[in-house]
Structure 1
Amino acid sequence: MAASLKDVAERAGVSIKTVSNVVNGTGRVGADTRARVEDVIVELGYRPNVSARSLRHSRSGVIALAVPEIGNPYFAELAELVVKAAEAYGWTVLVDQTESDPDRERLVLQGIRSHLIDGLLFVPRRLTAEDFAARTDTTPMVLLGERLTKIADRVAIDSYAAARAATEHLIDLGRTRIASIGAAESADAVTRGRFEGYRDALLAAGLRPSSRLVIPRKRWRHEDGAEAATRLLSLSKRPDAVFCSNDLLAHGALRAFHDHGVDVPAEIAVVGIDDIAESRFSRPSLSSIAPDKRHIAETAVRLLADRLKADDTPGPREFVTGFHLEVRESTAGQHG
């Protein structure tokens, strides 16, 4: 009976992966260990299955991008940029939607479609560090978003810094009753980071955060922003500015303020995060924190290409991309 990888591994006292690395000339294997494995290969007369190796090392030319919501313009714009960046490598991009459901995110993490794809770009929202530690799938992966684990390469903006910059812009306008829609103190890393940036900007300016002015939202969609803004208008002392955790919430808030006859920005200034295309064309146009989405997409694809090209790429690597504030009518007015 022909010897197998498992037989060689057991005789040499190493893992099957180590034997595979020796046979295929990949990975990092010490000189002494390599020599011992090679001696056992000769001793047992092990012969690699050439056809199986060829099949295993073939590439599909397909990578996956898993995002929470395809219908969210931010992720739609990001997906378009990922597709363009992947074209440079001759790759096709398979886009998947998790709806921020932890079970669906775990399926993505554990490689439910790993037989179809060469690599994965993943925007997790509900997974924990323990979920990542339990990952057994070996498909190369790059994470997009806040730090959850050091198990993989990561590309993101600094949500804390972005929220703080947005809130500081409102403070610089002289606003003192600044509300927050969307962010929460205890939630996923993105939501928590945006709350802390908002809170710390107020504290640094000597303003006391008010729990009545903080409206957390589980979903960040137009209707959630409109409902939250209506609640703020019901307060006996209304806010004079609103920081929204994304642009969809902000556009919903703008609609609610318009419907209630509120002058934006004279009575209430509004700022968001994401700088989606809609923000340039709304009325009033929306001031927003603009992440460098092109750089995020191109960096993530390049990191994945590095992982597919070589097993010994240092890692995990972390890239925090820049952002800037686009000031528009919702804070500066028509002639600001």
Structure 2
Amino acid sequence: MGVSLKDIAKQAGVSLATVSNVVNGYRPVGESTRQRVQRAIDELGYSPNLSARHLRRGRTGLIALAIPELTNPYFAELADVAMREAADLGYTLLMENTAGDRAEELTLLDGAQRHIIDGLILSPVAIGREEVVGRRAQLPLVLIGEGVYDVPYDHIAIDNVAASRTATAHLVGLGRRRIAFVGAPPGDDRQSAHLRIRGYREALAAAGLPFDQRLVAPTEQFGRADGERAMRHLLSLDDPPDAVLGYNDLTAIGALRALTRARVNVPADVVVAGIDDIEEGRFSNPTLTTIAPDKREIGRLAVRRLVARIEGEAGPPTHMQPAFHLVERESTGPAR
């Protein structure tokens, strides 16, 4: 038989209602009484039935995180943080892989799972502001990433313009003058790739360097193979770059592969940097200089804001920008 609240009340010498208030956090309880109840909980090894608690409140205890690419290490690392944070708050996190598909994102946005989940964290890439603002579902929603801005929902994203500007300024500071950007798909200029290109151009302008459209290498996606193809194209130019900034770490790692195969020395001849600080970049050869967003803070904020929305404690929607910092590694110079 499991330990019940009645057992705890007897052990602590308090009423059943007092134990319930401590366990569920319904109303203030004196500190000495709370400690006595907590000691009884610890001594008896009580574990709350979270499913029953959620059901009593008319909830399922399930929340969802919908991302465009589960195989992308950045999203995998972010999901791991979010899953741990959800568990700490008594919720179970479900994963949804939208593959950047518009229909999938709209299905989730309109609450197709509203009878299953209590709330949704969404990283949209195929839908825009109009679809988000016009959603019919009342399911609590938190947005992450840069696909949509200026919407009446909590939104968490780093400052991509500033992040890219910081990375480019680092390359400029190494004395490089022909700096390429790998990863520039067509589309909405609010998306993160275009925001990062803006930061790249701002850093060039601040250094008095001209912007050369030929050094912006487009890619269909943002994977290793895309970065490798783009780098091969850049190397075929009459005046190839002496530095490369990848839209993300994956494209930068692909660029490193192309440079290695072409027997170009990194960092002596070409320096390379990325954005995301995925674990793979710490073990690439050479190790990858990158912009490290605070993924732990992004995951923590997303889950906490969503749970606060679910429990009616969040207040007005807000836009949050977690911190980032430059991590210097071998691809731009001696390991630090």
TM-score when scaled to structure 2?
0.81
Matched, 1:220 2:222: yes
Cα deviation for residue 56 of structure 1 reads: 10
For 1:55 and 1:93, the matched residues in 2 are separated by 16
Q: Counterpart of 1:301 in 2: which secondary structure?
A: helix
Q: Which amino acid aligns with 1:292?
A: D
Report what 1:80 is aligned to.
Answer: 80
Report what 2:24 is aligned to.
Answer: none
Is the 8 Å Cα contact of residues 240 and 268 (structure 1) preserved in structure 2? yes
Q: Which amino acid aligns with 1:157?
A: I
For 1:63 and 1:193, the matched residues in 2 are separated by 30
Report what 2:280 is aligned to.
Answer: 278
CA deviation digits over 1:209-265, x for unaligned, max 9?
A: 101100122310000000000000101111000010100000100001000100001
Report what 1:144 is aligned to.
Answer: 144
CA deviation digits over 1:65-116, x for unaligned, max 9?
A: 0000000000000000000100111111110011111121111111121111
For 1:313 and 1:306, the matched residues in 2 are separated by 5
For 2:164 and 2:170, the matched residues in 1 are separated by 10
Q: Which amino acid aligns with 2:149?
A: L
Report what 2:11 is aligned to.
Answer: none
For 2:63 and 2:309, the matched residues in 1 are separated by 12
For 2:326 and 2:104, the matched residues in 1 are separated by 34
Q: Which amino acid aligns with 1:182?
A: G
Matched, 1:153 2:154: yes
For 2:311 and 2:234, the matched residues in 1 are separated by 53
For 2:133 and 2:56, the matched residues in 1 are separated by 25
For 1:99 and 1:223, the matched residues in 2 are separated by 17
Cα deviation for residue 57 of structure 1 reads: 5.2
**Cα pair distance change 1:210/1:184, threshold 3 Å:** farther
For 1:261 and 1:101, the matched residues in 2 are separated by 38
Following superposition of structure 1 onto structure 2, how do residues 176-325 of structure 1 map, counting pairs within 5 Å? 176-183=177-184, 186-187=187-188, 188-310=190-312, 313-325=314-326
Is the 8 Å Cα contact of residues 132 and 151 (structure 2) preserved in structure 1? no
Q: Counterpart of 1:270 in 2: which secondary structure?
A: strand
**Cα pair distance change 1:316/1:250, threshold 3 Å:** same
For 2:185 and 2:141, the matched residues in 1 are separated by 28
Is the 8 Å Cα contact of residues 185 and 195 (structure 1) preserved in structure 2? no
CA deviation digits over 1:111-135, x for unaligned, max 9?
A: 1211110011110112111111220
Q: Which amino acid aligns with 2:88?
A: A
Structure 1 residue runs of 5 or longer lacking an equivalent are: 1-53
Cα deviation for residue 149 of structure 1 reads: 3.2
Q: Which amino acid aligns with 1:239?
A: P
Question: CA RMSD of the aligned region, Å?
Answer: 1.6
TM-score when scaled to structure 1?
0.81
For 1:114 and 1:170, the matched residues in 2 are separated by 47
Percent of matched pairs sharing the same residue:
46
Structure 2 residue runs of 5 or longer lacking an equivalent are: 1-53
Q: Which amino acid aligns with 2:265?
A: D
For 1:192 and 1:214, the matched residues in 2 are separated by 11
Q: Which amino acid aligns with 1:85?
A: E
